[in-house]
């Protein structure tokens, strides 16, 4: 009889054991890290741009820039100006907004130009452009108008000079 009672108790325990366990499975413990000596890994090399057949190498001016400073008549503008400059292989896209003489009428300029370096100057040709005058009127720039500018790489960006006393400084963002 004792053997029968013992077998019945074991059978009951085996049947009810799964019911007594936690219904939510616990994650397996994380294995201990291996104690093998650390092997230094080589730094990931930045992939150099692969030349595209038929396309000249990328010009140092190419990139996207954000306006950091506007200088007018040799003096940095004390009021904030905002703008972006994007330069591709053939085109230059400029959008700038600056405070105007009337606080309610900002000066705005937007243009698309082609560009080509010629010596220390960059010849730009307007394809589409407009700006606002001091009275808030919109002035359409004539397509085909050529304007020389001096573009110079400066630390972290580019400077677009209109003349010796007027320029815009942009910081490279891309």
Closest C-alpha to 87, from 125, 127, 59: 59
pLDDT at 95: 98
pLDDT at 73: 93
pLDDT at 40: 53
pLDDT at 124: 97
Report the chain's mean pLDDT, rounded to a whole number: 82
Mean pLDDT of the region 70-90: 94
Tens of pLDDT along 18-48? Answer: 444 445 555 556 555 555 455 555 554 454 5
Number of helical H runs and strand E runs in the chain: 1, 10
Q: For a pLDDT cut of 90, what percent of the chain falls above it?
A: 60
Q: Which domains does the chain have, with CATH numbers?
A: 63-172 (2.40.128.280)
Q: What is the dihedral of CA 138, 144, 145, 147, to 10 degrees?
A: 120
């Amino acid at each position: 009889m004792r053997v029968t009672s013992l077998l019945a108790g074991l059978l009951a325990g085996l049947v009810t054991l799964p019911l007594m366990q936690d219904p939510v499975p616990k994650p397996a413990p994380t294995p201990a890290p291996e104690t093998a000596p650390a092997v230094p890994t080589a730094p990931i090399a930045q992939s150099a741009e692969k030349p595209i057949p038929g396309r000249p190498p990328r010009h140092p001016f190419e990139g996207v820039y954000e306006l950091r400073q506007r200088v007018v008549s040799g003096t940095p503008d004390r009021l904030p100006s905002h703008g972006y400059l994007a330069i591709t292989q053939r085109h230059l896209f400029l959008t700038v907004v600056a405070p105007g003489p009337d606080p309610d009428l900002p000066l705005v300029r937007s243009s698309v130009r082609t560009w080509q370096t010629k010596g220390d100057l960059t010849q730009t040709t307007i394809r589409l452009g407009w700006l606002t005058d001091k009275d808030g009127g919109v002035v359409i720039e004539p397509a085909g108008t050529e304007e020389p500018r001096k573009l110079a790489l400066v630390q972290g960006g580019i400077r677009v000079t209109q003349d010796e006393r007027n320029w815009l400084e942009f910081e490279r963002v891309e």
